[in-house]
Amino acid sequence: MQIDFTNLFNSCDDVINVDTHFDFDDFEYSTYKPLKHGADVKGKAYCKADIAYLDLNVKFDFFGICDRCAEEFEKNFSFDIHKTVVPRMENENDDYDNYIVLENAVLDLDDLIYQEIQLFLPQKMLCKDDCKGLCPKCGKNLNFGKCDCKKDVDPRMAALLQLLDEE
């Protein structure tokens, strides 16, 4: 989907509403394709005080594999995008993170949403924040209970454990 900002750059009388769905069949995260249902995007492009803005909300379901326990999970994500859209940068020292520079006044929304989802996703995906992971010895998922493995004792701490056992 492309948004033409020509009218917004020339006059502040226009508002462009966005309500669309992106499939993203080619989106890959790690080694799998986590956006099975795509992403829903709602928002608007508008002009205020001769400056064009783009405000969007992105919602999607993430299907993944936990990096700690290797269980499959599904999470709902939602985030907002707030950008200032300009035909050119006036000052090279400006913060480019909040700006979209459109020299031809046309924004490819597919590319923007694809990039923003990539930036939004955490580097380590967890099924839940307090995931306990797998036992390094037997491989049991510790989220479902403790394992029966004997804990290794650091030989430097063995003397202290003997003192505790005597009490």
Distance CA 144, CA 71 (A): 11
Distance CA 107, CA 22 (A): 15
Q: What is the pLDDT of residue 11?
A: 79
By the 8 A CB rule, do 47 and 12 touch?
yes
What rounded mean pLDDT belongs to the chain?
Answer: 85
Confidence of residue 30 (pLDDT cuts 50, 70, 90): low
Is the pLDDT confidence value at 68 over 90? Answer: yes
Tens-digit pLDDT profile for residues 71-100: 999 999 999 999 988 887 776 666 677 888
Is the pLDDT confidence value at 44 over 90? Answer: yes
> If you average pLDDT over residues 106-126, what whole number do you get?
88
Distance CA 20, CA 43 (A): 9
Q: Where are the domains of the chain?
A: 2-131, 132-167
By the 8 A CB rule, do 85 and 54 touch?
yes
Q: What is the pLDDT of residue 137?
A: 87
Phi, psi angles (nearest 5°) of residue 120: -75, -35
What DSSP designation does 149 have? P
More confident residue, 10 or 47: 47
Give the residues across from 33 on adjacent strands: none
Tens-digit pLDDT profile for residues 12-26: 778 889 999 988 777
Say what the pTM is. Answer: 0.76
What DSSP designation does 88 have? S
